Structure 1
Amino acid sequence: MIEVNWSRTDLIDESQEVVEHQTKNQKEKIADSSGVSIDEFNEGRVKVTKVLVDKNGEEQIGKKEGKYITLSVPTLTVDDNNGFEQLEKAFTKYLDDIHKDIKLTKDSKVLVIGLGNKTITPDAVGPFAIDAMQNEQSENPSDHFVMYAPGVTGQTGFETSDFILALTEKIKPSLVLVIDALATRGSSRLCKTIQITNTGIHPGSGVGNQRTEVSKEVMGVPVTAIGVPTVVDATVIIADAIDSVFRSIAAKIEERGKPSGKLSVTSWTPESNSRVDLSLIKPIFGEWSTWSTNDRLQLFEEAFASHPERLIVTPKEVDVWITKYSILISKCLFNWMEHKIK
């Protein structure tokens, strides 16, 4: 099949090169061959993925040289207080980790930029985080944060990076923090993940609307990007749904005739990470039912290649998710700053 790169993602651990190297031996191989170091582990319910990319790795996976830390709670829901508490704890910890080489004093300024369009909810995590920080600032004043939500180029007519550069030159901060919504290529990652990176960000890149980057090279000071994936391409939803249907049918065929199958009193589907023999449904659906999820996704992307409109999907509770993440990010930034300058 012709390779069509429509599976847009801003998450480092979803880039093809990283996804293809999940075992220990493969991680060691990719580190030796392409300059990418991958470390995955769990801290309670939080899955932590740390990726270090050097100059060789930058050419291999198309991600900038630097450090990427992805925090994910796969079972997180909007009313899961325990999950948000664990994510908040991990986020504060790794904010400190990624900034361990940056010295902040009582006189330091940190410029916090909330990217995105406040009138479009899935894109509003940045501006909402700025609102939450301003509310926190009114109750617990801090001289360290300077906060700004510049809007998007479609609203202002100017490059967002130009606004940020002008502020940086005026304020002369020790650090720029950029908060933005991201795109993911996995529906299970929607609103359940935070990515932190010291490489900066290309506003709008996840949905194909790439603007001038906001980075240390452009701004002249360290730039850290904080992102929450809130949208996914519709073809990913289709591929995930068909994969679930195929796995469910195959699992039920496999269980048929077994005592465990006769004991079931409710509908049952296999867990997403359990092994299912998809060859059992090949007589029903044909050869393509045994393809990998990525191969089926590629098929759908090719089938829709001639369609002028592409759909970007977001959870129906996205307004609640955005509110929760804006408060979480605000709280963690103030706590981290208080700890950092002691």
Structure 2
Amino acid sequence: MIEKYSIRTDLALEQKERFEADNVEISGVVLEEKYDEERDIKVTTVRIETENGARTMGKPVGTYITLEAPELAVPDEGYHREVSEEILRFLRRLLDMGKEDYSVLVVGLGNRQVTPDALGPYVADNLNITRHIVKEYGKYAMGKDQVRLLSAIVPGVMGQTGMETVEIIRGVVRETKPDAVIAIDALAARNSRRLNRTVQISDTGISPGSGIGNQRSAITEETVGVPVVAIGVPTVVDAATIVGDAMENLIAQMERSETMKGVGVVLQGYNAAEKYELVKELIAPHLNGMFVTPKDVDETVKRISFTISEALNRLFA
């Protein structure tokens, strides 16, 4: 059943939680959790160390760092600054920036015309681009002995360009020769409480659209020629997930009711995979392909994009 159970999520943390819910141990996958009570930020690191672990998780070998920040969707500048500092700290860990004149290409993935998918373009809009200044006037134009070159592109989506995004990135990388690519994208989550409250950072690259079943060619070191770090925030959730969460609450209520207790016990006997498949059958075909986003997604995505761009600007300052 587990092999057939395909959950719609881009978060490695949620893939790991799914197996834990079914009491399945995954060899080659290590999970570490840290909680900063003062700042209310939980950091979960999932390290996929073997090919067996990668096959089971459905994600490449590498490190996946997830920051869960419940107040990220709230307009609190102080809190957002603290999240930026955390993102900055992990980017420094994943990028080998020891080289002089280190150059990075930031790729803002997604469709600017669709707000839940506009995170990448918005981040690119807020960056302090420096590559052209250094190329034109030299590094001393920045007033520093050592500079880091930052460039950015917003390649759009295949429906707009007629090209796979990875083809555009590969061409730009070949011409501009950055030392690394940082790809920013909106993600899909399994748990609605993680919407606009979670940031995932990984050193494995990214497969645009995979969380909503519209997978395009992967953007990885193998496909573009330089290391790729991905930063993503879940902005949409599968409709089946919302119905599934409602069913879980219903089951809990049934178990407390004398008249409905028997039905609740039966449903509770289903594992996570069986519950998810049952929900998909119940809502098909009208809601089966629907994804949902919060009503204030416009302001939230703009706010979070600024938080991520501030981390990148400080990284390359």
Whether the TM-score (by the shorter chain) exceeds 0.5 is yes
Partner residue, 2:115: 121
Render the CA deviation track for 1:160-216: whole Å, top value 9, x for unaligned: 100000000001111100000000011010000000001001111111111111000
Pair 1:91-2:91 in alignment = no
Partner residue, 2:44: 49
- Provide the aligned length of Structure 1 versus Structure 2: 298
Mapped contact 2:130–2:149 kept (Cα < 8 A): no
- Distance in 1, Cα, partners of 2:255 & 2:44: 32
Q: 2:268 aligns with which of 268, 274, 290?
A: 290
Q: 2:30 aligns with which of 37, 44, 63?
A: 37
Q: Given the superposition, is the C-alpha separation of residues 98 and 173 from structure 1 closer, same or farther in structure 2, using an over 3 Å criterion?
A: same
Q: Higher mean Cα deviation, 141-150 or 189-198? A: 141-150
Partner residue, 1:257: none
- Distance in 2, Cα, partners of 1:206 & 1:103: 30
Deviation at 1:309, TM superposition (A): 5.5
Pair 1:170-2:175 in alignment = yes
- Distance in 1, Cα, partners of 2:282 & 2:288: 13
- Distance in 2, Cα, partners of 1:336 & 1:293: 44
Q: 1:65 aligns with which of 61, 69, 78?
A: 61
Deviation at 1:291, TM superposition (A): 5.0
Partner residue, 2:135: none
Mapped contact 1:126–1:181 kept (Cα < 8 A): yes
Mapped contact 2:130–2:150 kept (Cα < 8 A): no
Q: Higher mean Cα deviation, 69-78 or 212-221? A: 69-78
Q: Given the superposition, is the C-alpha separation of residues 188 and 292 from structure 1 closer, same or farther in structure 2, using an over 3 Å criterion?
A: farther
Q: CA RMSD in A?
A: 2.9
- Distance in 1, Cα, partners of 2:72 & 2:285: 36
Partner residue, 1:188: 193
Partner residue, 1:151: 156
Q: 1:310 aligns with which of 276, 286, 289?
A: 289
Deviation at 1:19, TM superposition (A): 3.6
Q: Higher mean Cα deviation, 140-149 or 231-240? A: 140-149
- Alignment gaps of 5+ in structure 1: 251-277
Q: Given the superposition, is the C-alpha separation of residues 106 and 311 from structure 1 closer, same or farther in structure 2, using an over 3 Å criterion?
A: same
- Distance in 2, Cα, partners of 1:36 & 1:143: 34
Render the CA deviation track for 1:237-258: whole Å, top value 9, x for unaligned: 11223434554xx4xxxxxxxx
Which residues of 2 match residues 91-110 of structure 1 at below 5 A?
A: 91-99=87-95, 102-110=96-104
- Give me the TM-score of the superposition, normalised by structure 1: 0.79
Partner residue, 1:14: 14
Deviation at 1:137, TM superposition (A): 9.6
Mapped contact 1:181–1:228 kept (Cα < 8 A): yes
Mapped contact 1:183–1:229 kept (Cα < 8 A): yes
Partner residue, 2:214: 209
Mapped contact 1:178–1:224 kept (Cα < 8 A): yes
Q: Secondary structure at the match of 1:283?
A: coil
Mapped contact 2:239–2:288 kept (Cα < 8 A): no
Q: Secondary structure at the match of 1:183?
A: strand
Relative contact order, higher structure (CA 8 A, sep 6+) = 2
- Give me the TM-score of the superposition, normalised by structure 2: 0.84
Q: Give the fraction of aligned pairs with identical amino acids, expressed as a percent.
A: 38
- Distance in 2, Cα, partners of 1:280 & 1:76: 35
Q: Higher mean Cα deviation, 102-111 or 194-203? A: 102-111
